[in-house]
Each structure stands twice: as C-alpha cells, then as structure tokens.
Amino acid sequence: MKKIKLLFVLAFGAILMSSCGYNNMVQKQENIAQQWAQVENQYQRRADLVPNLVNTVKGAADFEKSTLEGVIEARSKATSIQISADDLSPENIAKFQAAQDQLSGALSRLLVSVERYPELKANQNFLELQAQLEGTENRISVERKRFNESVGDYNTYIKQFPRVIYAGWFDFEKKGYFEAVKGAEQAPAVNF
C-alpha cells in the first residue's frame, strides 16, 4: 500500500511539474530576445543613416555647425548603449530609450533647420536619405510595438498562478517595456 501511495505522489508531482510551464516561459523569453534584436536592428539602421545625412548637409555652405555637432554627439551616445536581451529591466530600457530619444530630438532639429536651405531641400541625396530615415522611424515604431507585445505576453504568463511560483524558482523576472516619451501626450502647438 505504501508503494502505491509513493507511486501516486511521484506521478502527481511529475504531472504538476510538467504543467508548470517552464518550457513556455523559456519560449516566451526567447521571443523577447528575438524581438529585442529586431528593435536593435532598426535603431542601428537609423544610426547608419546619420553619417550620410550629416555629410550631405555639411555641403550646405553656412549650415549651423552646432546642429550637426548635436546630431553627431547624440548618435555617439545612442550607439554606445548596448543592452543584452538577458538584462531588459525597466531601468535599462529607460536608459536605452533616453539615448535614442536624444538622437531623435537632434535629428528633428536638423530636419527643421533644413527648411532654411532651399538647396538642401532640392538635393536628391538629401531627399532620399530623409525618406529612408522616415521609413526607418516607422520600422522602429513597429518593432517597438512588437517588442512590447512580446513583453506583455511574457510578463502576464509568469504572473499567472501557479506559474508565478515556478517563475520565481527558475529566475524568470519581469521585463521592461518601451514607454512613450514624457510630454508625448500633449499635442505640439502649431502656429502659422
């Protein structure tokens, strides 16, 4: 009788452990790593476009030097922050996002400054680079959305009972999201 009870307890334990969702947690964590790589690819694509854009703009005789220096410096900071897919904490995502937002701001200032230079606005190389940059910004947005969806799926999965217990045992921790830039909820003022 004791052997039957022991076998029953072992069978029940095996069933319980097999339904803990460990493999699914691993799969969801790998999906986040894959999505993170896609986010990084798109940010790298943008960073690779910046030198060509800067060189094209440098050709304008009296273009604002400080604007170009700001773009170059922001690109340098943005490319210097690397985060491993294993360390996607909310704090690290915020640091990465802050550096990328600085580059976005510098590029925005550059593109606004171009409006004062008709020869640049007519330059075919500049127009092509600007179009590529706009396309890349759209790709970044799409990849960030996909990344956040993967993170949401994973975070929800590891918080559900009984997986929350097993997630703690196996060190599956909450991952960070990309969040909107502070002030993004305010529409920009447009004056004519």
Architecture of domain 26-169: Up-down Bundle (1.20)
Q: pLDDT > 70: what percent of the chain? A: 84
* pLDDT for position 188: 45
* pLDDT for position 136: 92
**Residue 118 burial by Cβ neighbours in a 10 Å radius (0-12, 13-18, 19+):** exposed
More confident residue, 110 or 60: 110
* pLDDT for position 126: 83
Among residues 176, 150, 153, 169, the alpha carbon closest in space to that of 22 is found at: 169
How confident is residue 182, by pLDDT bands cut at 50, 70 and 90? low
Contact 53, 126 (CB under 8 A): yes
* pLDDT for position 168: 87
Q: What's the mean pLDDT in 112-132?
A: 82
* pLDDT for position 187: 46
* pLDDT for position 162: 85
* pLDDT for position 190: 38
What residue spans define the domains of the chain?
26-169
Query: In this predicted model, what pLDDT tens digit does every residue of 84-121 receive, in sequence order?
Result: 888 888 899 999 999 999 999 999 888 888 888 777 77
